[in-house]
Amino acid sequence: MLQFCNRISILLSTLLVVSCTRVPNNQSTNVFRYNESKGITSLDPAYARNLALIWPVSQIFNGLVQFSDSLTVEPSIAKRWAISTDGLTYTFYLRNDVYFHNAPVFPSGMGRRVTAYDFVYTFNRILDPKTASPGMWVLSVLDKDYPGFENGCAAPNDSMLMLRLKQPFPPFLGLLCMPYCYVVPHEAVTYYGKDFGRNPVGTGPFYLKLWRDGEKLVLRRNPNYFEVDERGNRLPYLDAVSVTFIPDKQSEFLEFINGKIDFLSGVNAASKDELLTRTGKLNPKYLGKVNMITGPYLNTEYIGILVDSALLPDNQKFLLDERVRKAIAMGFNKEKMMLYLRNNLGYAARGGFVPVGMPGFSRITYGLDYNPSHAKELLENAGYSNLKGFPELTISTTDDYLDLFEYIQHQLSDIGIKLNIDILPGAAYREMLANGKLTVFRGSWIADYPDPENYLACFYTNNFAPNGPNYTHFSNLQFDLLYKKAMTLPGYNQRLTYYHQLDSIVTAKAIVIPLYYDKVVRFTSNRVDGLGVNPMNFLVLKKVKVK
């Protein structure tokens, strides 16, 4: 306790010093405060691979295009664009009023105007193996050998950017919304080198003012930001964003309840029963003090089953029988699982692999709802009668899903399936999953971009793990032909018919058993206004106000 008090004293002293340099302190009514328990390692968009990094990076940088809360692609630095009839060439026309933040890397110390050449530089930097960006795959669709283009990029003039693809890929605009594609100035990257992530220079609504490891990160309002609201008022509304780094989730919760931070994302097990009722509503004691915001999250939690006969051990070949896989799917009650184990913070999966919240989500069900009597019939038809003789089944997962699989284990025992639970360390689980070494596994697929293709690519034959995300090694000629056909259609609505067919093939065969579609759950103090929610769980602060 004494150490905690000393730390608070140090933080308060730091804030007093910061306030003298016009960085708003925690008592300002115009500062949005949140905690990042996982810490922030870099503010370089080239390495923004998870939400802990994406959230602050998205305040500092912009890309050509951006997502709306409804996941449509909207202009950002590009005011408009055109796509060639063959779907291979994308031409972007840039605004002429976007400037990099004021920084000493520029001769005058003032921000420089963004040009198309900056995007050519940025994209080539991502594609450079020396950068070692985990986002290199995002631009792998570019035609690196196309004449007159540099790795598929060309800037005919300051305000025109052209990108050339190897083959049509309709979700390409969604890829360009990802933080990896945010524009950076070559002057800053050259000047700071590997320390650019500690000294970011972007175009966004906020710029970095202060960063003390393990203590605080402060972003200040960019007075030259180019976006305005519907009434013509310049964004952002906030003076600053203040981020703390308290690693303990219980301490973070207490900071929120005590009014020291304004925002909580998600629900930790330690505070779940304090904040929520059994049915997932806000505890009545916090009404009027706390706002709870929920919405679909593009994340499907599922059970995956390896269906590659060449890789399955002989004692697991029974998994190749579709009747067995369907019996597993029908053997447990997802609605009760969500109510008792997740406080309904998610949607029991009654549809396919593509989750609720995806534009064009299909509400078709596939006859695989909880039905233990039918599950027993399927097992009997497969040769396992009288609840006997079924081989033991082992599922691999991590310890944070143990309660969920103990529930499934108990329910499956009622239909004669003995389920063993293999708890793996996170690193080992991810490595074995990525390399297709798990027979039955708990999977989680969070959308990289809001197009069903991102989910359905997990079952395309050419994407077998370890070279792609097809962890089940599902291979189906009809699926592959429909997938290829969908990729030739430029219109989203045109592709939806094919997407629904693809999803139905995978789900009806129980290659994967969707468990639930996740929810974005946010809690804010009652002084916060304008913080919405979106299915990608991005933190958009440019229109947030504090009272």
Entry pTM: 0.88
The whole-chain average pLDDT of the chain stands at 91
pLDDT at 461: 97
pLDDT band at 377 (very low <50, low <70, confident <90, very high): very high
d(CA 180, CA 133): 8
pLDDT at 387: 67
Taking a C-beta distance cutoff of 8 angstroms, is the pair 357, 297 a contact?
yes
Structure tokens at 408: 């499934």
Give the pLDDT band of residue 322 (cuts 50, 70, 90).
very high
| Rounded-to-integer distance, Cα 295 and Cα 281, Å | 13
> 237-253 pLDDT, tens per residue?
999 999 999 999 899 99
| Per-residue pLDDT at 19 exceeds 80 | no
Distance from first CA to last CA of the chain, Å, rounded? Answer: 32
Give the per-residue pLDDT at 389.
Answer: 77
For residue 531, pLDDT beyond 50: yes
Using DSSP's 3-state secondary structure scheme, residue 156 falls into strand
Orientation of helix 492-508 relative to helix 477-486, angle to 10°: 160
Position 279 scores a pLDDT of 87
**Domain 297-519, CATH among 3.40.1160.10, 3.30.70.260, 3.10.105.10, 3.40.50.2300:** 3.10.105.10
pLDDT tens, residue by residue, 84-113 = 999 999 999 999 999 999 999 998 888 999
Long-range Cβ contact pairs of 416-420 (< 8 A, separation 24 or more): 416/376, 416/379, 416/384, 416/386, 416/387, 416/388, 416/390, 417/327, 417/328, 417/331, 417/379, 417/390, 417/393, 418/390, 418/392, 418/393, 419/392, 419/393, 419/394, 419/395, 420/392, 420/393, 420/394, 420/395
Contact indicator for 506, 479 with CB cutoff of 8 Å = yes
163 Cβ contact list (under 8 Å, min separation 6): 89, 90, 92, 123, 142, 152, 153, 154
Q: Which residues contact 283 (CB under 8 A, 6 or more apart)?
A: 274, 275, 276, 277
Q: What is the enclosing helix (H) or strand (E) of 493?
A: helix 492-508
Q: Give the mean model confidence (pLDDT) for residues 177-195.
A: 97
Hey, what are 99's tokens? 């400037």
Burial profile 480-489: b = 16 or more Cβ within 10 angstroms, e = fewer: eebbeebbeb
18 pLDDT more than 60: no
> Which own/partner pairs from 164-169 qualify as long-range (CB within 8 Å, at least 24 positions apart)?
164/88, 164/89, 164/90, 165/87, 165/88, 165/89, 165/90, 165/141, 166/141, 166/142, 167/88, 167/141, 167/487, 168/86, 168/87, 168/88, 168/487, 168/488, 168/490, 169/87, 169/141, 169/487
Q: What is the pLDDT of residues 33-61, one digit of tens each?
A: 999 998 999 999 999 989 999 999 999 99
Helices (H), 396-448: 402-413, 426-434
Contacts of 417 (CB under 8 A, 6+ apart): 327, 328, 331, 379, 390, 393
Domain-wise residue ranges, the chain: 21-251+527-546, 297-519
Is the per-residue pLDDT at 118 higher than 70?
yes
Contact 380/415 with Cβ under 8 angstroms?
no
Are 166 and 141 in contact by the 8 Å Cβ rule? The answer is: yes
Strand partners, 304: 441, 512
pLDDT of 26: 46
Q: What is the 3-state secondary structure (H, E, C) of 56-85?
A: HHHHHCCCCEEECCCCCEEECCEEEEEECC
Tokens 């664009």: give the residue.
Answer: 81
Whether the CB-CB separation of 92 and 78 falls below 8 Å is answered with yes
Q: Looking at the DSSP assignment, which residues form a beta bridge with residue 212? A: 216
Question: Is residue 462 predicted with pLDDT exceeding 50?
Answer: yes
Q: Region 463-477: what's the mean pLDDT?
A: 94
Mean pLDDT of 327-354: 94
CATH topology of domain 21-251+527-546: D-Maltodextrin-Binding Protein; domain 2 (3.40.190)
Give how far Cα 515 sits from Cα of 53, 268, 335, 417, Å.
28, 20, 10, 18
What is the pLDDT at residue 8? 37
What pLDDT is attached to residue 13? 39
Q: What pLDDT is attached to residue 20?
A: 37
